[in-house]
Structure 1
């Protein structure tokens, strides 16, 4: 009997890839924008660095908390749906069998075959079959709040560390162009990597991330420059 080859699909990466890319992108954009805004207001090199570090800590905590709450809400909904489905299986097994068979008929199976498939799947794992095919809940795409929160906080910190490192090493006289250039390069690489891992067009990912990053940094720097002249 031939050994079944286990295929690797990109959908398995959706959860952690989304959190990691979002966190790293926000880390670079928000921290670089923050320090560019402060630098444009003619702050000292030390104050710029302090502002960047504060932005890293605050941003990482905010990302972790926001991601945890958001994904945990999704997990709560999933658990509530599974609880309801479990109750329906206990009280109306025949009705749930017909419901599952109807789903397979809608997907193109012959009614007799759909009935057979539904019967066998429910005999094996009734709740799992309904969770997957009726509710769209699977182990691959299920909500994992703690993992999402840690991934967001860690990736944000990693992204935010880049402009901070540049600030620490760059001379104060050319800090703005160096931080801007390094941040845009990092964003372009991040967008390209995310697109490649996700199987999307690399150039489109690079352009999208770089454009919005440049816009955010430009607007923040402009506001900082205006406030610096007023102060």
Structure 2
């Protein structure tokens, strides 16, 4: 009897990794940018902190709601497709078997072997086979709304907390450069960690998050300074 190998692939992590990286990145970028923009307008440090905390709470809830709604829509589509496939298997199993065999032929199997594979997999679990090979739906990659929502909210809060801590320990006159520099360091580390976990190139992953973070920080600092000057 053949043993199932225990090798784990990084595709198992796609759902939660995407939500976690997105949440942490947004937490750092949006909160640090908010703090930098408000501080650049010469706002008192206590008010900068209040704005940052408000941004953390609002952002975490927005991320959770956005992820839940988005991934729930994906899950609804998957359920609808599975329901349609279940109906087709019940009403026209022969056509579904031919469709499955044709898929395997397109992937490189000889027609007789493709037919044999389709028959055996259909006998084992017809719906799961069509879900995986026809619809591209599997347990590892299927939509999980609650998991995505919690991952996004939690990592957003962690990311947002990093620039907030800086506000507590840095003098008001140094908030803009220190928060900006700290945010870029945090974004670099986030890019490295995400690359390591996901198996992506480290330099490329870190560079893209730092680029967009620096752009956001620069723009909000400019807007804050402009409004501070006008005021």
**TM-score bracket for this pair, using the shorter chain length:** over 0.9
Structure 1 equivalent of residue 94 of structure 2: 94
Instruction: Return the offset for 1:125.
Output: 0.3
Structure 2 equivalent of residue 111 of structure 1: 111
Once superposed, what is the RMSD of the aligned Cα atoms? 0.9
SS in 2 for 1:117: helix
Does 215-224 or 167-176 show the bigger shift? 167-176
Q: TM-score, normalised by structure 2?
A: 0.98
1:67 equivalent to 2:67? Answer yes
CA deviation profile, 1:133-192 (whole Å, cap 9, x unmatched): 000000000000010000000000000000001111111121111111111000000011
CA gap 1:83/1:2 in 2 versus in 1, 3 angstroms: closer
Structure 1 equivalent of residue 141 of structure 2: 141
Structure 2 equivalent of residue 227 of structure 1: 227
CA gap 1:3/1:124 in 2 versus in 1, 3 angstroms: closer
Instruction: Return the offset for 1:6.
Output: 1.3
CA deviation profile, 1:89-144 (whole Å, cap 9, x unmatched): 00001000000000001101111111111111111100000000000000000000
Structure 2 distance, partners of 1:112, 1:204, is 45
Structure 1 equivalent of residue 16 of structure 2: 16
Q: TM-score, normalised by structure 1?
A: 0.98
Structure 1 distance, partners of 2:124, 2:202, is 42
Structure 2 equivalent of residue 39 of structure 1: 39
Kindly tell me the number of residue pairs found equivalent between the two proteins. Answer: 231
What 5-or-longer segments of structure 2 have no aligned partner?
none
Alignment of 1:151-170 (within 5 A): 151-170=151-170
SS in 1 for 2:42: coil
Instruction: Return the offset for 1:3.
Output: 4.1
Instruction: Return the offset for 1:35.
Output: 0.5
What 5-or-longer segments of structure 1 have no aligned partner?
none
Instruction: Return the offset for 1:197.
Output: 1.2
Structure 1 distance, partners of 2:114, 2:57, is 54
SS in 2 for 1:33: helix
Structure 1 equivalent of residue 192 of structure 2: 192
Instruction: Return the offset for 1:4.
Output: 3.6
Structure 2 distance, partners of 1:126, 1:26, is 41
Q: Structure 1 runs of 4+ off > 6 angstroms?
A: none
Structure 1 distance, partners of 2:74, 2:4, is 34
Does 189-198 or 94-103 show the bigger shift? 189-198
Structure 2 equivalent of residue 210 of structure 1: 210
